[in-house]
Amino acid sequence: MRTNECHAQVIRRRAVASAVRRTALVLSLTAVTALAAPAATAAPVPASASASADGAAATGAAWSHGTGRDLARQTLPAGDGWASADGGTTGGAAADAAHVHTVTTWAQFRAALAAGGDAPKIIRVVGTLNATEGGCESFEAPGYDFDQYLADYDPAVWGYDREVSGPQEDLRAASAKNQDQAIKAYVPSNTTIVGVGRNAGITGASLQVKGVNNVIVRNLTLESPLDCFPQWDPTDGATGAWNSEYDAMVVYGSSHVWIDHNTFTDGRYPDSSLPRYYGELYQQHDGELDIVRGADLVTASWNVFADHDKTLMIGNSDSAGATDRGKLRVTLHHNLFSNVVERAPRVRFGQVDTYNNHYVIPADGYAYSFGIGAESRLVAEKNSFRLPEGVPAGKILKKWKEAPVTVAGNYVNGRSVDLLAAHNTQFPGEVLQPDAGWTPTLRTRVDHPRVLPALVTHRAGAGRLR
């Protein structure tokens, strides 16, 4: 017995020593940071909010790495990106007990969002909420038959010169409407949504932050919703295409939004797992995060965007200048973009500050990272890229429309690279102009790009909120 006890003590001492060495490694990496990372600001807890009316106290405060801090009442630190401007972003930090909810199902989550109007509210998510628990069959309109749909609109029968119409298309649209009503959740103003613990998330849903103000979403794994009823469009390109709906999150016409420490992923259903019909991919995914239609003052920090095609769009139409000019001010920092094909981000109109993000570029199918669109003013500084062999740095930028861009201090495979020069050399017919015409000032921490691969990989995403 004594021998076993001594052996156990040795193992414990080794484990402690190993943990100390790992801690020392992280500290050495972060020692080169230009500024210390700010702690999120904690709002005072209302006297009436010592316990939730529906059991939040029983399940415990949102996970805080054992520090005793209630993450649900943290607010965006001053100076942390565009969402900190003009009064800052506090979400539901001031919620009283009647407006603090702990949810374990999709139905509870939607009910909590609807309760109390725009009064400050906190919603703590425990476990994984499934918005499509009944499967696609539960949304099907009576009479809809996918096999019949395929037969009716087979290009050999229907051709490529007209859009589909008829009974099965009508039933597909009715089925799609059923899914739309079931999987969208509308987030009201003055709301904080935070995952509890390391494994909180939502699958099959689309969070709609639409026409509201002052919202915080943190510590959730958001698995991209699958469109059960994509539409076949034979006129889309030379050989037609399947088009899908539903982004994991949409910020539409809203302001003061902080999206922090979430993981956006296709999860169990990557595009590689999807079937093909009529020779084309049966595309069931849209975007992971869209910020559109006059949305403004948004900070997205320490998130993971993984394994997706059209990932993050800021501004969704060249013709939306009436709503988007002077808006779409967005900060993206310390996010990990891992194996995403394009739109990381694609920008129209907005002043977008993209700094200290880390990009792991896929070996196959890569299109671009920074899309320069109509009237955009993108600043991309001190980002890090890991490019596989055969993918040139010139592809990182993509010119969609004539607009200037500021790039500086970016690193590719551990070395400083002028991304603008690389692009203009590789694509002399699509020359981009320098100088976006503005200088970002709302930054609380700027790290050297060389530390980003380790720093962002180990600290970004759900379950890693400190």
Distance from C-alpha of 113 to C-alpha of 463, rounded to nearest angstrom = 23
Residue 237 and residue 264: Cα distance in Å, rounded?
29
Q: Among positive and negative, which fits the CA dihedral 450, 453, 454, 456? A: positive
Contact call for residues 265 and 304 (beta carbons, < 8 A): yes
Q: Check: CB of residue 262 under 8 Å from CB of residue 219.
A: yes
Token readout for 127 is: 């476990």
Query: Is 343 in the active site?
Result: yes
Among 115, 133, 114, 113, which Cα is nearest to 124's?
113
Find all residues with CB under 8 Å of 35, minimum gap 6, and list them.
443, 444, 445, 446
> What is the C-alpha to C-alpha distance for residues 413 and 450, in angstroms, rounded to an integer?
9
Of the residues 73, 110, 343, 377, which is catalytic?
343
* Separation between Cα atoms, residue 327 and residue 256, nearest integer Å: 12
CA distance 69 to 177: 42
Instruction: Reduce the DSSP state of residue 327 to 3 states and report it.
Output: coil
Helix, strand or coil, per DSSP, at residue 157: helix
The residues assigned a catalytic role are 343
